[in-house]
Structure 1
Amino acid sequence: MEYWRAALSHTFAAVDIAVPDEVCSGSVRTSRLGQLQVATVDSGPLWVRRTPRMITPGKDQQLIVKLLVRGVARVEQDAREVHLRPGEIVFCDMARPLRMAFPHPFRTKSLVLPRRLLGLGESDLQRLTATSVRPDTTVGSLLSPFVTQLVDAAATYPSATGEVLARHVVDLLTVLVGERLHQEVGDTPSPAQVLLPRIQVFIDRHLADPDLTPDAIARAHQISVRYLHKLFQTEDVTVSRWIQRRRLQECRRELARREAAGRTIAAVARQWGFTSAAHFSRVFRDAYGLSPAEWRDSAARAPRLSPSPRGVSGITEAALARGVPRRF
């Protein structure tokens, strides 16, 4: 367990992991291409988390372009969850907290590069992470085979060739990411692109307030409710559903904590802004396919994450593979 966690942390960034019954097996194959690193990971079921305490502010963090080759996966970052199937790609920003669940044996191929190389602002990075790039899209049809060939052949390139390829990789990623974000490379982010992440942070800070409504959010940002709803159209969700989704995610995490086993489900619901325990139970089941009590019981039976090298206490995350949330 410790060796496997150290191998993953050395390749990508410091992480905690959990595996079923403390049995883990896998391999990591890496190569360098200039400032880039490429990696192929084969592993049995695995649950990964990167917490705020593992992140060093100001340090040049990595951006990971991860292609799922085999298995299924779920990635959580920036208040979003994405479910991946083979052939799909996801961007992971190691400068912010991250959770990944691989409930079955899997294989991934990854490009690891300093996030500064793409020249993206924080708002664009937050729009990019935890969203699926499917192979049947324009970006995916180019990026998926490119990542596969580059990772597989990286070890065969001479050093000078690797340096040149790395520069071309960054150029290609810059163009494709610009297409992904529906803007041309070098464009100044629009006011809407700057405002939406600020509003999402505001929502996170006020989740516990039962009076957090679209009207209150619009007033706080001096915009109309109509414009607020327009901003969230890009997230394919209404403002109210976004608030509910974030509250449910926080309740689910709290209910999975063994340290919170003595708290009632109603108390957890109230902590995150739900005023009715019955309503909370209903929307929780609609989202995850099981009741809050059933989720708490399954989390209690799941393996615990082992402590990190810094002594961070582990919490149960293996149950993430259960209760896959349905779309709101």
Structure 2
Amino acid sequence: MTSPPGAALGTLLASRVSGSPQTLRRTPPVRRGPNDRLKLCMQQDGSTTVSQDGHQVRIGPGQMALYDTGRPYTLRLEGQWSCVVLAFPRHVLSLPDNVVRQAMRHAHSFDAGPGAVLAGFIAAAMAQRTTIGASAGRLGEAAFHLIAGALRITDPDREEAATDGRRLQVLRYVREHLPEPDLTHDGIAAAHRMAPRSLHRLFEDEPHSVTEYIRLRRLEAVLHDLADPLLSHLSIARIAARWCFTSQAHFTRAFQARYGVPPSAVRPGASTRAA
């Protein structure tokens, strides 16, 4: 299997891989961790069958399949195959877990429609990977919206679709109000005219509660800002405060627990300074 240089767009990693027929397995035990990723395989040549959670999805050129690296899976790669693989944290799609699970059970096209827009965007990003520079994080955010739009679900259950629609409204509201310090579980519930307990029930089967989702998106926003050369004149404390982390000690602990490095390590030129 060969892997030419890929492109890093913030927390999105895009790479092109190719090889001869083979089977790849990730077997139990697989422990879900904070950095577990989803992968989207965009088939260029040959074919791939993705097996996970009792479902099989076979894709050929012009099709793509989504799978979860935090759980066991098998990839059967046939012919002289090549794929573009997108890897990203699960929560960045801002889609309800039920929608993500359904998306994993189907093949999706990138020959036409929203998938074609995504494919063109990724191809351009990979071609320009050495010149993207400070725009990488913002382009990654755009890619996440394109991915979410390309994962189309057919014939959803009406009741589940209505519930997922309410979740999407809440997640969209969180993204739009993320910098506001008074963004809280109870405030979000009030804005959507529901009791706090009802909002809790709406997300009780999701990977993250609303409060956890707010924290994760704020940490990710800080990560993007810290890595942006255009913001290198701002202190770590000021960037953290922009995203409502008022305690420097609390922020540093949360950031290191999430990303495994201190905030200073992701600033432009950090490795150079350390050397």
> TM-score, with normalisation over the residues of structure 2?
0.52
Instruction: Give 2:8's aligned residue.
Output: 32
Match of 2:77 among 102, 116, 124: 102
Shift of the alpha carbon at 1:92? 1.4
Shift of the alpha carbon at 1:136? 5.0
Q: Deviations over 1:11-58 (max 9, x none)?
A: xxxxxxxxxxxxxx52342221111111111212221111231x2234
Which ranges of structure 1 fall in alignment gaps of 5 or more residues? 1-24, 191-328
- Could you tell which deviates more after superposition, 181-190 or 113-122? 181-190
- Check conservation: 2:32, 2:71, Cα contact below 8 A: no
- Check conservation: 1:87, 1:144, Cα contact below 8 A: no
Matches within 5 A, 1:240-259: none
The answer to whether residue 24 in structure 2 is matched with residue 48 in structure 1 is yes
Matches within 5 A, 1:84-163: 84-136=59-111, 138-158=113-133, 160-163=134-137
- Check conservation: 2:39, 2:67, Cα contact below 8 A: yes
Letter in 2 for 1:29: P
- Check conservation: 1:39, 1:111, Cα contact below 8 A: yes
> TM-score, with normalisation over the residues of structure 1?
0.44
Q: Deviations over 1:76-109 (max 9, x none)?
A: 1232112211111111111222111112221111
The answer to whether residue 45 in structure 2 is matched with residue 67 in structure 1 is no
| Counterpart-to-counterpart distance in 2, 1:185 and 1:66 | 28
State percent identity of aligned pairs.
21
| Counterpart-to-counterpart distance in 1, 2:58 and 2:50 | 7
| Counterpart-to-counterpart distance in 2, 1:33 and 1:184 | 33
Count of matched residue positions in the alignment of Structure 1 and Structure 2 = 163
Instruction: Give 1:243's aligned residue.
Output: none
Instruction: Give 2:141's aligned residue.
Output: 167
Q: Deviations over 1:51-70 (max 9, x none)?
A: 231x2234331111211111
- Check conservation: 1:139, 1:180, Cα contact below 8 A: no
| Counterpart-to-counterpart distance in 1, 2:162 and 2:130 | 33
Which ranges of structure 2 fall in alignment gaps of 5 or more residues? 169-275
Letter in 1 for 2:54: A
| Counterpart-to-counterpart distance in 1, 2:20 and 2:49 | 15
Query: For the aligned residues, what is the CA RMSD?
Result: 2.7
| Counterpart-to-counterpart distance in 2, 1:143 and 1:31 | 15
Shift of the alpha carbon at 1:162? 0.7
- Check conservation: 1:133, 1:139, Cα contact below 8 A: no
Counterparts in 2 of 1:155 and 1:42: CA distance versus 1, 3 Å: farther
| Counterpart-to-counterpart distance in 1, 2:19 and 2:105 | 21
Counterparts in 2 of 1:78 and 1:126: CA distance versus 1, 3 Å: farther
| Counterpart-to-counterpart distance in 2, 1:180 and 1:153 | 31
- Check conservation: 2:98, 2:164, Cα contact below 8 A: no
Say which SS state the counterpart of residue 167 (structure 1) adopts.
helix
Q: Deviations over 1:121-165 (max 9, x none)?
A: 43222211142112455333333333333333333311x111111
The answer to whether residue 23 in structure 2 is matched with residue 76 in structure 1 is no
Letter in 1 for 2:11: Q
Letter in 1 for 2:67: C
- Check conservation: 2:99, 2:153, Cα contact below 8 A: no
Say which SS state the counterpart of residue 103 (structure 1) adopts.
strand
Say which SS state the counterpart of residue 124 (structure 2) adopts.
helix
Counterparts in 2 of 1:185 and 1:169: CA distance versus 1, 3 Å: farther
- Check conservation: 1:69, 1:108, Cα contact below 8 A: yes
Say which SS state the counterpart of residue 165 (structure 2) adopts.
coil
